[in-house]
A and B are shown apart, each in its own frame.
Chain A
Amino acid sequence: MPEAKLSLRSVHKSFGGNHVLRGIDMDVATGEMICLIGASGSGKSTLLRCINQLEPIDDGSVWLDGQDISEPGLDLGPVRRRIGIVFQSYNLFPHMSALENVVLAPRRVLQEDGDALNARAEALFDRFGLAQHMRKYPDQLSGGQQQRVAVIRALAMRPEIMLFDEITAALDPELVGEVLNVLRQLRAEGMTMLLATHEMGFARELADRVCFMDGGVIVEEGPPGQIFSDPKVARTQAFLRTVLR
């Protein structure tokens, strides 16, 4: 039984004949921040979705605090509420205000009641500088604001781990900064995080560890200083040459 907060053991995943993950092993310690880098289609997004069991894995296992959460038939509700995820396309519920988006799951899943919950949600909005927008509907918010609401929505469930799936990829460049600031804030607060990202500068600045994925496997991993400055594997070198140029 793995000791880490989150562990993956030779995880495989195929979609039809497309073998997307070909044996992933990974350990994430509490408070650690890991950045997954790699070209589109290298399996980063699928890996994140396999961690919170949004996609069932074909082979291998996923462990959370020593519990095998990839076991078939397991009730996934309690597992998923411990793992927050934020998607590239925000996926806010368009018929609810920002505040309603945030309080829905705590109210229905954690059975938290009105006033205390609202106060907690408002505090979250305040913390990420969105207090004046929390009554607005998603289509009244900018992309960056929507993505920050999506982060708050995930945080409202008090997750133990946060997964971020290319959350700045759909944003206009001038809006990327405000979302990355949210991540910096979380990092400072000690959140355990796993990011799929194209923001190399950001990964270099904040990550404890960087994993380079290609063809469904982790080709190389290490501290950002080593990966970015002194990659050992040819495929990593080739990839970094194209993105850092």
Chain B
Amino acid sequence: MNRRQAYETAQRRRSLTVAGISTAAVLAAIILLVPLTPGWPQVRASFFDGGVFAQTFPTLLRAFLIDVMIFAWSVPLILTLGLAIALARGARAPALFPLRIFGAVYVDVFRGVPVVLTIYLIGFGVPGLGLPRPWNSPYIWGTVALVLTYSAYIAEVLRSGIESIHASQRNAAICLGLSERDTMRYVILPQAVRRVVPANMNMLVALQKDVALLSFIGPVEILRQAGIYKSLLANFTPYVVAAVIFLIVTVPATRYADHLLNRDRDARS
């Protein structure tokens, strides 16, 4: 080990020590000080009741499967529709001008309206037109509401990705005789999609959380189940349980996405 390496090792050890001590200090302060606050006994009884936690966890976990299900069938629909809208917004040919207008209006409307409102309007409104069961299911129309909203966001993300690809790439493809379609499909989109993976991962994490909003139109998923327990037990611990279950899924998901991105980057340099 030369002098520089020795110096850097020492530096690293020193910053690790500092980070460890400061983290421990903050944690200790929280653990020691929070219980001293006058309201802590009530808060602990309301939010951190071990008995309630154990009692509600299995049912809440099962209810969470409904969230996962809705998420799983929404994602492919959102990505497909989002891509279609992004391409519609980028259409260059004058004949496709109405398509561009449609794309712009679509994105403005569904990004501008809170998800909850869209879920109410579509979840109750469309079935209210008189659709027979099972076609009036809140699962179907709640999913439609999520797909409409999130595809608008994804479309914008994709469009920004497409626009971030330098014009010279398009020129190079056109000059090789590739059609506009092939240029988009083989040259622009693969680069654009890769570039917006982090933004889209964030979207999907947000979607995973917003799936819970479907509870407003009936489905008893985890947020609703936690609310039911809260009413029955007059205790907020079920919400803490729900939060923990969400974290168990979303934290590894985001970490895994980061890992994929890094691996992709490492493999190519």
Interface residues of A (CB under 8 A from B): 52, 54, 77-78, 80-81, 84-85, 87, 89, 91-95, 104-105, 108-109, 137, 139-140, 153-154, 157
- For B176, give its contact among A89, A95, A105, A139 (CB under 8 Å): A105
Is B191 a contact of A94 with CB atoms below 8 Å? yes
Is B177 a contact of A80 with CB atoms below 8 Å? yes
Is A91 a contact of B172 with CB atoms below 8 Å? yes
Q: Is B179 an interface residue (CB 8 A)?
A: yes
Is B268 a contact of A137 with CB atoms below 8 Å? yes
- For A77, give its contact among B169, B172, B179, B187 (CB under 8 Å): B179
In the bound complex, how far is the Cα of B86 from the Cα of A168, in angstroms? 37
Is A54 a contact of B194 with CB atoms below 8 Å? no
Is B168 a contact of A108 with CB atoms below 8 Å? no
Q: How far apart are B252's CB and chain A's nearest CB, in angstroms?
A: 27
- For A81, give its contact among B168, B176, B186, B269 (CB under 8 Å): B176
Is A91 a contact of B169 with CB atoms below 8 Å? yes
Is B176 a contact of A153 with CB atoms below 8 Å? yes
CB-CB under 8 A from A108, the residues of chain B are 178-179, 182, 186
> 6 new A-B pairs (CB below 8 Å) besides A139-B268, A153-B176?
A54-B171, A54-B174, A84-B175, A104-B178, A108-B179, A109-B179
- What size tier do the contact residues of chain B reach? 10 to 19
Q: How far apart are B237's CB and chain A's nearest CB, in angstroms?
A: 49
DSSP class of B's interface residues: helix, strand, loop or mixed?
helix
Q: How far apart are A74's CB and chain B's nearest CB, in angstroms?
A: 14
CB-CB under 8 A from A80, the residues of chain B are 174-177
Task: Give a binary string over B209-229; 1 marks a CB under 8 Å from any A CB, 0 the rest.
Answer: 000000000000000000000
Chain A: which residue is nearest B269 at the CB level? A139
Q: How far apart are B182's CB and chain A's nearest CB, in angstroms?
A: 5
- Residue from the set B169, B172, B176, B191 with the largest chain A CB neighbour count within 10 Å: B176
22 A-B residue contacts at CB 8 Å? A52-B175, A54-B174, A77-B179, A78-B177, A80-B174, A81-B176, A87-B168, A89-B168, A91-B169, A92-B172, A93-B186, A94-B191, A95-B190, A104-B176, A104-B186, A105-B176, A105-B178, A139-B269, A140-B268, A153-B176, A154-B175, A154-B176
- Residue from the set B172, B177, B187 with the largest chain A CB neighbour count within 10 Å: B177
CB-CB under 8 A from B175, the residues of chain A are 52, 54, 80, 84-85, 154
Is A109 a contact of B177 with CB atoms below 8 Å? yes
> A87-B172, A137-B268 are contacts. A93–B177 as well, Cβ < 8 Å?
no
Q: How far apart are B209's CB and chain A's nearest CB, in angstroms?
A: 32
CB-CB under 8 A from A78, the residues of chain B are 177
CB-CB under 8 A from B172, the residues of chain A are 87, 91-93
CB-CB under 8 A from A153, the residues of chain B are 176
Which residues 254-269 in B have Cβ within 8 Å of A in the complex? 268-269
Chain A: which residue is nearest B172 at the CB level? A91
Which residues 109-156 in B have Cβ within 8 Å of A in the complex? none
Task: Give a binary string over B226-254; 1 marks a CB under 8 Å from any A CB, 0 the rest.
Answer: 00000000000000000000000000000
Chain B: which residue is nearest A154 at the CB level? B176
CB-CB under 8 A from B178, the residues of chain A are 77, 104-105, 108-109
In the bound complex, how far is the Cα of B174 from the Cα of A93, in angstroms? 12
Is A93 a contact of B179 with CB atoms below 8 Å? no
CB-CB under 8 A from A95, the residues of chain B are 190-191, 194
